[in-house]
């Protein structure tokens, strides 16, 4: 099985309104409200990461972190930096931001997911398992956790798929299975 790793990204589009850029909303009875991204570099960084432009995404996310105006934005930036550095395969830096995020929010399942990926990539499988279990406890059924879990399983308990096409009668097949 191929060992190439790519990214599956769920973007943290930090507190922004719907859509790209500023949007004008009007009501029939009230004045116009103009809304827009509160942290454009953070949003652009997330988009860049989503597009696979890791270096650019990390650079913009650092800018976004500098001007973060809320705890939520800061946490978004930390999470995205962790993921971004994983994409760059700079696991030390990635770990730094995952740890920072977990210090602020010990129940952040995405941080556990990302850190588990770091542990898998650095072959620290016992630690990866711990983070996966914690993440699964916090967010049962999360798709990204399932993918990370599969990555762990493929590393620790690899399997080869086998397909058997059996044309024998069902009774005969059952007899053989016993």
Partner 1 sequence: MPGTALSIVMATLTFAAAEADEPEDERATHIVDTSTDRAPARTTFPKYPRIARRDRIEGKATVCFTIDTRGRIHNARIREASHRIFRRPALRAMRASTFEALGPGEVLERSRTCRTYRFRLEPILAAAGSADN
Which positions from 139 through 158 interact with partner 1, judged by CB under 8 A? 143-148, 150-151, 153-158
Closest approach of Cβ 175 to partner 1, in Å? 13
d(CA 113, CA 132): 6
> Residues 42 to 61: which contact partner 1 by CB under 8 A?
46, 49-50
Contact 16, 43 (CB under 8 A): yes
Query: Which of residues 24, 140, 169, 171 is near partner 1 by CB under 8 A?
Result: 169
Q: What is the largest CA-CA distance in the chain?
A: 78
Contacts of residue 154, Cβ cutoff 8 Å, sequence gap at least 6: 1
Q: Mark 96-115 with x for binding to partner 1 (rule: CB under 8 A) and - for no binding.
A: ------------x-x--xx-
Closest alpha carbon to 110 in 148, 73, 74, 72: 148
d(CA 110, CA 22): 28
Query: Which of residues 22, 33, 104, 106 is near partner 1 by CB under 8 A?
Result: 33
Residue 164 as a binder of partner 1 (CB under 8 A): the answer is yes
Q: Mark 70-99 with x for binding to partner 1 (rule: CB under 8 A) and - for no binding.
A: --x--xx--xx-xxx-xx------------
């Amino acid at each position: 099985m191929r060992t190439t790793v790519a990214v599956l990204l769920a973007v943290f589009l930090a507190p922004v309104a719907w859509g790209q850029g500023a949007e004008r909303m009007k009501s029939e009875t009230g004045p116009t409200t103009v809304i827009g991204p509160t942290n454009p570099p953070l949003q652009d960084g997330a988009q860049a990461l989503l597009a696979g432009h890791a270096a650019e995404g990390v650079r913009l996310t650092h800018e976004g972190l500098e001007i973060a105006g809320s705890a939520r934005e800061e946490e978004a930036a930390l999470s995205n930096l962790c993921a971004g550095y994983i994409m760059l395969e700079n696991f030390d830096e990635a770990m730094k931001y995952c740890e920072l995020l977990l210090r602020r929010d010990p129940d952040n399942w995405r941080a556990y997911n990302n850190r588990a990926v770091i542990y898998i990539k650095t072959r620290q499988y016992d630690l990866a398992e711990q983070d996966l279990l914690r993440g699964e406890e916090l967010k049962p059924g999360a798709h990204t956790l399932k993918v990370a879990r599969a990555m762990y399983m493929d590393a620790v308990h690899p399997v080869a798929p086998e397909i058997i096409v059996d044309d024998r009668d069902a009774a005969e097949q059952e007899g053989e299975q016993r």
